[in-house]
Amino acid sequence: MSENKSARSTWRFLQVLVNPGRAFEKIVAEPVFIKAAFGLCGINLLLAIILAPKMQALTTWMLTHGRVTMPPEEMERVLAVAPKAAAGGSVVAAAVTPWFIWLLIAGLLKLFAMFSARDVAFKTLLAVAV
């Protein structure tokens, strides 16, 4: 049963790429988006974790080779904190940003629906945004 549902979710995702009109009709008929949202956020989070060491190295390189000059004591403090903050911030942003973008898109779709005199549930619009 779970294999059938995961295959159906994968097929729905591929259908959005191949035949978007038909796929969005099915999404509107059955607005299920949690699995897709968590899957996309998981991929995003995994990539951010993989790239975190590169973010730390880039932050360190930019601070040491940048045009802004700092006293050596301050540079040591900044170099101790900034790479960790950049890596942590990128991981948090990778987990949170997609949700804000999807909510923004769903809100814009709701606004458009209000002006076009259509009544559409926000859950449906959020499923379309995801």
Closest CA to 124 of 108, 104, 110: 110
pLDDT score of 60: 93
Span 35-65, pLDDT tens digits:
888 989 999 999 999 999 999 999 999 988 8
pLDDT score of 42: 93
Span 86-107, pLDDT tens digits:
999 999 999 999 999 999 999 9
Average confidence score pLDDT of the chain: 86
pLDDT score of 8: 67
To the nearest 10°, report the CA torsion of 62, 64, 66, 67: 170
For the segment 4-24, the average pLDDT, to the nearest whole number, is: 74
Span 108-127, pLDDT tens digits:
999 998 888 778 888 888 88
pLDDT score of 1: 46
The ranges assigned to domains in the chain are 1-30, 37-129
